[in-house]
Amino acid sequence: MHEFDVRTSAHAQMVDVTAEVQDVVTALEVGDGAVLVHVPHTTAAVTVNEGADPDVPRDLLRRLETLVPWTDPGDRHGEGNSAAHLKSSLLGCNVVLPVSGGSLVLGTWQAVWFCEFDGPRARRLQVSVVQP
């Protein structure tokens, strides 16, 4: 397994980590197979979505905030960040990505996104080779 840091500068933010994940694939000498990208945090997530248009991550964050507003009078969690926990659960803490010829197999417009829901923070992302 390999880890790398992701620093966020906003309360809610999506950071394109495709190049960093590819760097790990290269360093681990993954030829063909798959890697697991995992976020070991309960208020962050990882997803695959469009990386070509910067409006897409902005729209996703805006829509998530509409679906799960930051404040809800019924929330009981003492830290006050229940919305971040819910958003993390909705998107998920890991993705499995295929690798072929030493490169991530992504669609033309796809990118790997680290999703921050309770920032700004310093976070960790983990990449592991999935064994056949």
Q: Is 102 left (phi over 0), alpha (psi -120 to 50) or beta?
A: left
Q: Does the structure show a pLDDT above 70 at 112?
A: yes
Q: What is the pLDDT of residues 34-60, one digit of tens each?
A: 999 999 999 999 999 999 999 999 999
**Which two tokens mark 39?**
């976020």
Three-state secondary structure call for residue 88: helix
Rounded to two decimals, the pTM is: 0.94
| Residue 72 pLDDT > 70 | yes
pLDDT score for 91: 98
Predicted local distance difference test score (pLDDT) of residue 79: 77
- The mean pLDDT of the chain is 95
Q: What is the pLDDT of residue 87?
A: 95
* In the chain, where the domains are located: 2-130
CATH entry, 2-130, from 2.60.120.1090, 2.60.120.460, 3.40.50.2000, 1.25.40.80: 2.60.120.460
Q: What is the DSSP letter of 37?
A: E
pLDDT at 80: 72
Query: Closest Cα partner for 116 from 64, 74, 66, 79?
Result: 64
- Reported as a pLDDT band with limits 50, 70 and 90, residue 132 is low
Q: What is the mean pLDDT of residues 26-30?
A: 94
